[in-house]
Amino acid sequence: MASRVGFREVAISGEQLELNGKPLLIKGVNRHEHDPDTGHYVSEESMLRDIRLMKQHNINAVRTSHYPDHPRWYELCDIHGLYVFDEANIESHGIGYHPDRTLANKPEWGPAHLDRVQRMVERDKNHPSVIVWSLGNEAGDGVNMVAASDWVHERDPSRPVHYERAGQRDHVDIISPMYAGVEWIRRHLEEAPEEQRPLILCEYAHAMGNSTGNLFKYWELARSEPRFQGGFIWDWVDQGIRKLVPWTYRERRQSVPYGSDWFFGYGGDFGPPDVPSDDNFCMNGLVAADRTPHPGLLETRQVYAPVRVEPGGDRYTFRVHNEHRFRSLDGLELRGVLLFDGVPEGGPDAHPAAVVPLDGIGPGQSRVVALEGFPVVRPGPGVEQHVRLEVRTREQEGLVPAGHRVAVFQTRIAGQPPEVVATGQLPPLGMMEEGGIVTVTGPEFQAVLSRERGTLISYRHRGRELLSEGPRPHFWRAPTDNDRGFGMPRRMGLWKYAGRDWTVSRMHAERLAPGAVRVRIEGSLPEGAGRVQVIYTLHGSGDVLTEFRFTPGEGGLPDLPRVGMQLTAAAGLDSLHWMGRGPHENYSDREQSALVGRYAARVDELFVDYSEPQENGYRTDVRWAALTGADGSGLLFQGLPLLGVGAHHYTTDDLERAAHTYELRWQEEVTVNVDLAQMGVGGDNSWGARPHEEFRLPGREYAYRFLIRPLEGTSPEELEGRTRRVPEGSLPPSMQEASWLPVDTPAEVSADPPAPDPPPTLR
């Protein structure tokens, strides 16, 4: 029988894991052998699908968690090029880790430990893709692991040995903790400068449900600290099994416009109800059980990208870094596109304005490149200008096709505030106040506000009702898996119904001008959480300027899951157009891969199925979002300056209550969140770690503003014009500057933060 042969040298040298004398960055994932239909039997086709996705998302290493894989897996890794940490089938953590309890420290269990390690090494020793041996997973440490390590070092001195439970003991060659936080890693590197071993996380960035936040922070550290050489995300694929949706739910769903007869079962979905399970804890992959990518995989592709781009001195000059250790950037090209209000110059289908081959940039090298042919255009009122950069392949290489996007980057180079329309130029308004109801009427719209409800209860444009329920203060989100892990429903439960149950103490209406009416609504939140003030300024154009201010109550308050307002749009408004980060779901701590642009999707398409429903489908840094029907009519929400926006055919309560997606009750109306901010999703682990501090919302004062505008038969092109003029008094101080959002600097290549406008914003 023939075998492929490869030659390479693996060593620990100069405190780093090296291959052929070059230090590696391990951009890895943990992989279980799993198929949604055949369980732990996986075909070669399934293996190739995994490798194809990994190669196309910049993943270069796999840990075979937690057992040696099928022999064909190693052959495919040899052929297509993946580093492998090969792991023995040893795990006994249920017994405990204490030296007096763990099997790893009981000599009578020594032969069993050694046998499994020996069989792995003897079977897989000739595969060049295997660069590190792993003694097992979560099985304690002791004399048996020391003996196994000694045997491996004697039998195969060409490869290092790692084992997480060994910690910093001297029978392993790599420090390989699980789920160590960024600050722990930084302290370890600072406090143990004499340590001569690399640090590689055998598990990190727990990708359970809506997760993988903070990933970029690990890689900022890995790229700056030579001893920290990356790690393996937990994990690759949701371990769900395809099951038939119960008949009662299939019958009910016949009346909705979509749905599947199948779902991915987990935990308690198998066996009698009294059988213990870990619920959905096995659903923690970057891809679903059928290999449908979760948004976290797109973030991983960007953070793991081997090509980095940053500004190089002026607006059309950039420095390109090659992070590869052994190959040049031959065969790649940098495509530059100039965006005006999120649309490429020349239209969505225009060719890139500049294409620069990256040939000749060798391993570890960088080069400054200039994008030629871009016009120098000063944007008009309300227009932003960005340069979007894409690194793409010129031709197919292995499993990566020609034209494949390796990485994306963006820089904001200019922007002007919208034009202000004087109130005197607006049509006059009629106003009537009676019995706690204020009715404001313009030439083409009517708005009704209720003191009892504390909101707009009707917003009609040309006779069509656009609201099913008006905007209310909203501070909650359907808990994610990570939220449940750190006790968010209990810790932050004060905010769950705070907006729904607020008590309105005052509503005051006044005419500011013939074409402007202001209605101020004030109230208090339950349990002394604080006070809310919402000011609606209605204009003769139909625009409703909405100003929101939250003032915290006395004493310490828990962090807020979100700060914003929630409304329900009328049935039929089922498409969302927006200018902001996209096209995929993104959050404040997971937005590196989502660039500012113009996007559109049906509301159903915004939904992300995480098997157990939770917060999903959000978009950040939104300049404006238009919710429209088939004829282009609907509602426009314009941030002043930026918003976070989510839209679903489900309520927040439904997303929180359902254990499976098929249990959700689809509704024709659309629940819309128009927020200042939402806290990050986190991802360091799913059993206690919270989002990093800079992505939380502490209990302090918040304020923001946005416009609600009616749309009538508006085309995508006409949407541009609708956002470039605003009524007098709409702009906060920060947007009255010549350039209302900061232009990116070399240190802020992919950042696009809101201006520091008092009252405070998130960042």
Helix/strand/coil percentages in the chain, nearest 5:
20, 35, 45
203 part of the active site: yes
**Dihedral sign, CA of 556, 558, 559, 560?**
negative
CA atoms of 593 and 407, how far apart (whole Å) = 8
CA atoms within 13 A on the CB side of 62: 27
Q: What letter does residue 400 receive in the DSSP assignment?
A: B
CA atoms of 88 and 69, how far apart (whole Å) = 10
Query: Residue 420 — φ and ψ, nearest 5°?
Result: -100, 130
Q: Which residue of the set 18, 87, 203, 720 is catalytic?
A: 203
Q: Which residue of the set 138, 345, 444, 668 is catalytic?
A: 138
Name the amino acid, one letter, at 150. Answer: D
**Dihedral sign, CA of 647, 650, 654, 660?**
negative
Burial 286-312 (b: 16+ CB within 10 A, else e): bbbbebebbbbbbbbbbbbbbbbbbbb
CA atoms of 595 and 342, how far apart (whole Å) = 9
Q: What letter does residue 397 receive in the DSSP assignment?
A: B
Strand pairing class (437-441; 445-450): antiparallel
Name the amino acid, one letter, at 201. Answer: L
- Residues 741 and 755: beta-carbon distance below 8 Å: yes
In terms of C-beta density within 10 A (0-12 exposed, 13-18 middle, 19 or more buried), how is residue 407 classed?
buried
Q: Give the distance from CA 175 to its chain's centroid.
A: 29
**Dihedral sign, CA of 10, 207, 48, 266?**
positive
Find the helix packing angle between 110-124 and 143-155, rounded to 10°.
Answer: 30
Please enumerate in sequence order all residues whose Cβ is within 8 A of that of 165, keeping only pairs 6 or more positions apart, or say none. 97, 104, 138, 139, 140, 141, 145
| Strands, E assignment, 152-208 | 161-162, 199-204
Q: CA-based angle 357:358:363, to the nearest 5?
A: 165
Name the amino acid, one letter, at 356. Answer: V
Residue 252 is encoded by which pair of tokens? Answer: 């009910």
Residues carrying an active site annotation? 138, 203
